[in-house]
Amino acid sequence: IKAFDNRYIDGDELIETVIKMQNLMIIYDSLIICKYAFAAGLTVTDIIKLLYFVTGKEYTPEKLMEIANRIWKVQRKINNELGITAKDDKLPLRMATPHANRTDTQVPPIEKWLPRYYELRGLTEDGIVKEID
């Protein structure tokens, strides 16, 4: 997963990285692994080895991300059923407000990115899950 110097760049690469990170964190959550382990260097390959030692099943990175994507869609579908839609996909106020005391006064243009994010995630333009693969 690629890190970016400029977190406000345009294009699919940033959105795809966001999706990969969300999926990776779903794997961590599902396996009850501390997310600080990511910062400490625990890799997807390490997780695959741990899964093999515990379950005896072999996984590929692609298969893990596919499982994580399905989990994300189920979570989103439940949220949709509870009334969560695109209208709720907003950054917290502190993230959407320029910081007066910092040199970086930009805020992420989430409204610009959301349509493509929805497309890549398999959602309607209203943020509703189309289908769970």
Would you give per-residue pLDDT tens digits along the chain (133 residues)?
565 556 667 778 889 999 999 999 999 999 999 988 888 989 999 999 999 999 999 999 999 999 999 999 999 999 999 999 999 999 888 878 877 776 767 778 888 999 999 999 999 999 999 999 8
pLDDT at 108: 80
> What is the pTM for the complete model shown?
0.85
- CATH dotted code for 12-121: 1.10.599.10
Q: What are the structural domain ranges in the chain?
A: 12-121
CB contact set of 41 (below 8 Å; sequence gap of 6+): none
pLDDT of residue 79: 98
Q: What is the pLDDT of residue 11?
A: 77
Give me the count of residues in the chain.
133
Q: Which of 68, 60, 61, 63 is nearest to 27 (CA)?
A: 68
Among 99, 79, 104, smallest CA distance to 89 is for 79
One-letter identity of residue 44: V
